[in-house]
Amino acid sequence: MAAPTTGTRWVYDFIEGDRDQRALLGGKGAGIAEMTRVLGPGRVPAGFTVTTAACVSYLGNGGHVPDGLDEQVDEALARLEEQAGKRLGDPEDPLLVSVRSGARDSMPGMLDTVLNLGLNDASVDGLAARTGNARFAWDSYRRLVQMFGNVVRGVPGDVFEDEIKRIKMEYGATLDTDLDAEALRDLTMRFRRLYDFPTDPREQLEQAIRAVFDSWNGERAKSYRRINRIPEDWGTAVNVQQMVFGNKGATSGSGVAFTRDEITGAPEPSGDFLPDAQGEDVVSGVRNTRDLADLADWMPEVHTELLEVLRTLERHYKDMQDVEFTVEDGRLYLLQTRSAKRPAQAAVRFAVDAVQEGLLTPAEAIATVDAGALDALLHPTFDPGSNPPVLAHGVAASPGAAKGTIVFTAEAAVLAATEGRDVILVRPFTEAEDVAGFFAAKGVLTSEGGKASHAALVARGMGRPAVTGAAVLDIDLHAHEVRCDGTVLHEGDFIALDGTAGIVTVEDVPLVQPEIDERFETLLGWCDGLSRLQVRANADTPEDARRAHAFGATGIGLCRTEHMFMAADRQMKMRAMIMADDEAGRRDALDTLLPLQQRDFEGLFEEMAGLPVTIRLLDPPLHEFMPDQYEVREQLTRARLEWTWDLPELEELLQRMRALEEANPMLGTRGVRLGLLHPEVYEMQARAIARAFRAVRDRTGAAPLLEIMIPLVALEAELELARGRVVSTAREEGLEAGRDFAVGTMIELPRACLIADSIADHADFFSFGTNDLTQTTLGLSRDDIEGRILPTYYEEGLLERSPFETVDVDGVGELVRIACERGRRRHPDLETGVCGEHGGDPDSIRFFHAAGLDYVSCSPFRVPIARVAAAQAAIAGAR
């Protein structure tokens, strides 16, 4: 490749750029340039950026820096020295600089910073003299030699650490800070012997720049780019910036400041500072920092100036800012500004205040909120003031806090609920037959499983707080006790858990109840006005529906009728249905379930008058309603050995269970397959729905917009047949499809997406079941891979997050796009939505908006989050 002409600009002073030049100057370079531009020269330590183009040229040209680069660096350095009034390597008053990489997008961990560049055996004395602090000077030099060796020359970090350990022994020092100037000089000289440290500062700078360039092709960077899909040919920029020191004495200091209160979002700046200290001292917490207000006493003019700067930055960036500042010899420098991380309540307050102050439009304000973080406002939490002793940490599986006494079985939980006792269901893991216990308990605690375990999924679906995988707990169901580090808890003992934080305690912590306050309501109102996507809720009970309504859901996108069969009293009826030998037997059992199911639907329909309610017909495999097969087998083995009376009964049970057993139940007899195999099941459900609809309409004069949904369709003919049966059963009950209700299908198999055109011939709506669609598209069983495969995949950089949390856009998303396109081609009025966990995930919602869906449906507790995310998606889409 020919070297570019010498006319190319490879180097830009900070004062020349702005934030739109990320491609050329990198993210960091553009950011510093922008801040310099906003605050004017002198408020940001000066410096310059070597462009990404220089890096690309260097890497493409066999490691030769492009013509003109060295000269341009020399010139920029000269301008920097001129402005700082100091020279690099000056033995009297040396200019020190930092060298940092900065790609177009942030690539954390790609290259560590090299600080204090410009020090050598001569200039270190100059620094000591100018600062009057020999220890500081030698510590700075020691750090340079260490960082340079490690970062630029690749000397392993532990080589330096070993040297530090040795010198501490020799000098009898315990902490690093116990080492005095003499010891640090000794240490620096030992470091110097570990490799060939360049004492010429210009040479230091050149090598550091090359090292940053080379780091673009390091293994860590490549792996990072692979995960984050960053193109190989972007290259990185290099930022060279004057060092400033807050530890030069009484008129120096460092701090961090927020443009508003960092906890509440109230419109007063907050922060901490430390006189005579560097930034890292403020952050590390080694010394007790002082409140930002005290700065007014210490250096009033700096304080005034800082407040002015904060106002300027917030106005310019249109967001609450978190800035780092240093005062060197009474002069204020701003080192960094970024959008402030803030708790949910502060985020809401800032957004609403900013609109009311005229700082932001509602759309701009909504964009400042991290929708996912709003979760914290929607569940009870441990009182933030309390700091209870932690019994165990586990996975924060379902948000919210709960407390009560321990029970070990679903039955005990149900009993407790009828007696009005608050209990926590504690089990090694949970299964389908424990679901009744979830209803009854205040919270769920397991020692096994993670975020995608049965316990976590069911708990989130029902809004019950849960901590899972608290592996330190030894939960012994036989002994009815929980053992943990010598503590033994028994059934009936008190326990509390925080599913937002993943914490378990035995202390009776006060809980703080959530509420959607006036500001949050205001924000959500703005969101609804800007969204295109509607937000519905997944709700299986009238109680869920009420909550969903209160949280602003515009309908029920998924009512899982199987949850209605999980309640303790119904599970036995369901089991009787499954155990029946023939259709007549099944019909008898179903007849007893029909009025119960009808009553459930009536409650739901009354709650949702005038709004859409999508009811999914029975979906899961029948064996989910059966007891644990291992337990039955064990009982049977015992019964055989002991010739007990229940042998024949157990044998029959086991035989039926074996007949229902499936190698891969996820891909087995469920959904519409079950409905076609045993038509009487869907018939009963259709009848119960229709009767409930008529009863509610007759009683109240109002009715929901009823949608009946047929799950797991793979073949056009499956839907055609099942739909026909539902329609004719409903007609027997006096309802007409089209007039009184719609019939649609869940799109949750790849084949359904591919033949969406012919499926659309028989469907009034599509509801994407992206949970199952993810499982089948990726061939990944959620139950199986989470604990075994995903940790390795995260570690190896193969995946960034679970495809069950955020929709896999390239695979599952592609199928959703194909299905929408093909479905609408045949049926332009087709209603499309998504139900399942992704419906409450902000990143997924952004995709669903772009794919053109009509609504998302999620757990009631996620509805406000989804409303914000839907608005953000619309706002981002409009830009």
The residues binding its own copies (CB under 8 A) are 226-227, 630, 633-634, 637-638, 641, 662-669, 673, 676-677, 712, 714-715, 717-718, 720-721, 748-751, 754-755, 772, 775-781, 783-785, 788-789, 792-793, 796-799, 808, 810-812, 814-815
AA identity, residue 702 = A
Residue 878 to residues 98, 252, 360, 370, 834, Cα–Cα distance (Å): 40, 47, 17, 19, 22
List the structure tokens of 737.
């499809």
State the Cα–Cα distance between residues 179 and 159, nearest whole angstrom: 18
820 is catalytic: no
Concerning whether 454 is annotated as a catalytic residue, the answer is yes
Rg (CA), the chain: 33
C-alpha–C-alpha distance, residues 576 and 653, integer Å: 11
485: alpha, beta or left, given left = phi > 0 and alpha = psi -120 to 50?
Answer: left
For its own copies, which is the closer residue by CB, 788 or 879? 788
Please state the closest distance from residue 147 (CB atom) to its own copies, in A.
31
Length of the chain: 879
CB of 638 to its own copies, least distance (A): 7
Q: How far apart are CA 427 and CA 751, in angstroms?
A: 38
Q: Which of 303, 454, 678, 762 is catalytic?
A: 454
Write down the residue that tokens 């003299």 correspond to. Answer: 129
What is the phi/psi pair of residue 242, to 5°? -60, 135
b/e map 439-463, b = 16+ CB within 10 Å: bbbbbbbbbbbbbbbbbbbbbbbbb
What separation in angstroms does the CA of 560 have from each of 214, 503, 604, 609, 620? Answer: 55, 30, 12, 19, 10
CB of 746 to its own copies, least distance (A): 11
Contacts 24+ apart (CB under 8 A), 307-316: 307/269, 309/39, 309/43, 309/334, 310/257, 310/259, 310/269, 311/259, 312/38, 312/39, 313/35, 313/38, 313/39, 313/259, 313/337, 314/259, 314/260, 314/359, 315/359, 316/38
Selecting among 55, 835, 838, 849, the annotated active-site residue is 835
Identify which of residues 390 and 639 has a Cβ nearer to its own copies in the complex.
639
Spatial separation of the C-alpha atoms in residues 371 and 866, rounded to whole Å: 8
Shortest CA distance to 260 belongs to which of 167, 398, 353?
Answer: 353
Please give the structure tokens belonging to residue 768.
Answer: 């994407």
How many CA atoms within 13 Å lie on the side-chain side of 196?
Answer: 2
Beta strand ranges found along 435-507 (DSSP E): 443-446, 466-468, 474-476, 481-484, 487-490, 494-498, 503-505
**In sequence order, what are the residues at sequence separation of 6 or more whose Cβ sits closer than 8 angstroms to the Cβ of residue 475?**
408, 426, 427, 428, 446, 447, 482
Minimum CB separation from its own copies for residue 437, in Å? 20
CA-based nearest residue to 520, from 263, 71, 867: 867
CA distance 797 to 233: 20
Reported as half-sphere exposure (CB side, CA atoms, 13 A), residue 722 has a value of: 33
Cβ 587 to its own copies, closest distance in Å?
17
Distance of closest approach, residue 542 Cβ to its own copies, in angstroms: 32
Taking the complex as a whole, the smallest distance from the CB of residue 358 to its own copies amounts, in Å, to: 47
C-alpha dihedral sign at 831, 837, 840, 841: negative
In the chain the first and final C-alpha atoms are separated, in Å, by 39
Sign for the CA dihedral angle at 711, 716, 717, 721 comes to positive
C-beta of residue 672 within 8 angstroms of C-beta of residue 712: yes
Helical packing angle, 410-418 and 568-579, nearest 10°: 130
Kindly report the number of other CB atoms within 10 A of residue 191's CB atom. 23
Cβ at position 215, least distance to its own copies in Å:
21
Q: How far is the CB of 468 from its own copies (least distance, A)?
A: 16
The residue behind tokens 């739109």 is 20
CB of 852 to its own copies, least distance (A): 19
Rounded least distance, CB 779 to its own copies, Å:
4
Distance between CA 550 and CA 765 in Å, rounded? Answer: 26
What amino acid positions are annotated as catalytic residues?
454, 835
